[in-house]
Structure 1
Amino acid sequence: MTIDDDVATLLEKEIRRTGQPLKQTVNQLLRSGLQQAAAPVKPRPFRVKPKKVGLPPEWTSGSVAELIEMLEGPSHR
């Protein structure tokens, strides 16, 4: 197996940090990485943040066209 230079540098740092032998460090890191890769990723729940839109109180018909005309004026087209 060939290890890239950047990975070898990180591995050497981890060996110095933990004081463990190369074999034990590599096995521990591989186990941890493989377990993490096998774990299902929980997606963040989709949330909608409601906002008050402040509809005009005189809009009572439910007509979207009427609402647009009220908000943008008669020349909105």
Structure 2
Amino acid sequence: MRTTLTLDDDVLALVHQTVHREHRTMKSVVNDALRQALSSQRSVMPYAVTPHDSQLQPGIDPGRLNQLADELEDEAITGGWPG
């Protein structure tokens, strides 16, 4: 079906960039973009987190690690004597 659309300059630039980058026709780029934007089921990339082992021990607050480092440094300087 043939129709006429008036595109904003920024949208037209995006279409032209996609046409050149993907070596496709303007018709296929616009049709695919509209199809994806208007479909009721949008494909959403799942968010994945890769877990890793941590050397933190129970009871250590990661938000206070700088304080712990300062206390350990103080102990090393004073030889364990309370300040």
Interval containing the TM-score (normalised by the shorter chain): 0.3 to 0.5
TM (normalized to structure 1)? 0.45
